[in-house]
Amino acid sequence: MKITAAKPAALAILITTLLTGAATAHGNKIPIGDGKVSTSPRKGYVMSCQTRFNPNAPGAWQSGDWIKGNYWYPSLKPTVDGAVSWSGGGAKVKVSGAKRKITGKGIPTHTTGVYPISKVDDAYKYDRNPNRIRTQKISLTLPAEPQQAARASCGPMGMIGVSLTGAAIFNALDAPGRDAVAHEIQDACSGHPERGGQYHYHGPSDCLIEVGRGADGHSGLIGYALDGFGIYGLSGGGGRHMSNANLDACHGHVETVVWDGKSRKMYHYHLTDEYPYTLGCFKGTPSASGQRQGQKSGQPPRQGGSKGPEAALKIAAQELRISAERLRRALGAPPPDFKSAAKKLGISASKLRRVMEQARQQAGF
């Protein structure tokens, strides 16, 4: 993020961060979780179903000076630029009988960075995420009253939970099996898309929706894991900052939280600002169909028509909710006359210019 390009809110956060240092339990540095992958429940580790990783799998291809020795420094890490708005974001949650249905398009309620990462973005130097954010079909049926299983189970690569913003929650690992939060470059809301275009977080985000904060300062619910247990924010009862030391190997504990509008003492997970950030393992029984939906998203993007001016026109038309043909006619022969085109479409020239520019960057030319 360049300071000149930052939105006022992002700028305020940046300035606060510069003044105070990132407010983490470790001060302004966090131990890197690289190598902390296990095949059984282990505190501070990710119990991963995938045990072999390709060190050359796609991901950030270069680390910068925010990683020093065994630590990384959040305030020094670049952020993917942009503030792209989406429609149809959010997760719908409905309890009927013993089931909790969660549906959504996998699109967040908040703005995202411009993906693929633009060549002019300072983040491009480190991470050339070539994926475009795409809508997903999220349809989960989870137990409304989850139970702890006899044995904890491993988490898949891909979706391990859904946040109330509508975006997926992944475990702490990137494709080569490293600490994704330390290595991968995310946008101002700590999210980015994977190969199937699924936008996701690997850890805490400033943009999460938190529901039902406890009277004692316990964080509210930010989403659901695929086993049906709730995922809560960074604070435990009494407002104390959560870390692996307070949590079990799956990254949860039993404490009083607000659950479906009522105070209840029950098992739940926490986000932490230290690795593994989200879940270490599943304490309950994860939904098989949810894991399949998560796996399905790990596919290469569709080929053809996704790049170049034609794709940009389609993206822009979609954003403006008009047909590509109508936008093409309004723009006329190149070079485009934004002023006259905007007049024809009944919108402001600045809006048209902004939408076209974002579409151009998303179409990667």
Question: Is residue 59 near Zn ion by the rule CB under 5 A?
Answer: no
- Contact yes or no for 226/287 (Cβ under 8 A): yes
Spell out, one character per residue from 194 to 233, where the chain touches Zn ion: x when CB under 5 A holds, - when not.
----------------------------------------
Which one of 27-35, 206-214, 251-259, 339-347 is the stretch in contact with Zn ion (CB under 5 A)? 251-259
Q: Give the three-state DSSP class for 67.
A: strand
Task: Pick from 236, 276, 280, 294 the residue near Zn ion by CB under 5 A.
Answer: 236
Which one of 28-36, 131-139, 236-244, 330-338 is the stretch in contact with Zn ion (CB under 5 A)? 236-244
Minimum Å gap between C-beta 157 and Zn ion is 9
Instruction: Scan for tokens 């959560």, then name that residue.
Output: 242
Pair of tokens at residue 162:
């859904």
Instruction: Scan for tokens 């709730």, then name that residue.
Output: 230
Minimum Å gap between C-beta 169 and Zn ion is 11
Maximum CA pair distance of the chain? Answer: 67
Question: Is residue 179 near Zn ion by the rule CB under 5 A?
Answer: no
Is the CB of 36 or the CB of 314 nearer to Zn ion? 36
Minimum Å gap between C-beta 163 and Zn ion is 14
- For 289-311, b/e burial (b = at least 16 CB within 10 A) is ebbebbeebeeeeeeeebbeeeb
Is the CB of 297 or the CB of 358 nearer to Zn ion? 297
- For 261-284, b/e burial (b = at least 16 CB within 10 A) is eeeeebbbbbbbbbbbbbbbbbbb
Minimum Å gap between C-beta 289 and Zn ion is 22
Q: How far is CA 211 from CA 1, 29, 100, in A?
A: 29, 29, 16
Minimum Å gap between C-beta 229 and Zn ion is 11
Burial of 19 (0-12, 13-18, 19+ CB in 10 A): exposed
Is the CB of 121 or the CB of 255 nearer to Zn ion? 255
Is the CB of 126 or the CB of 352 nearer to Zn ion? 126
Pair of tokens at residue 241:
């900052």
Residues 257-286 that bind Zn ion (CB under 5 A): none
State yes or no: cis peptide before 31, omega within 30 of 0.
no
Position of minimal CB gap to Zn ion: 255
Pair of tokens at residue 238:
């009494």
Q: How many chain residues are in contact with Zn ion, going by CB under 5 A?
A: 2
Task: Pick from 255, 273, 274, 319 the residue near Zn ion by CB under 5 A.
Answer: 255
Minimum Å gap between C-beta 254 and Zn ion is 8
Question: Is residue 187 near Zn ion by the rule CB under 5 A?
Answer: no
Question: Is residue 127 near Zn ion by the rule CB under 5 A?
Answer: no
Residues engaged in binding Zn ion (CB under 5 A): 236, 255
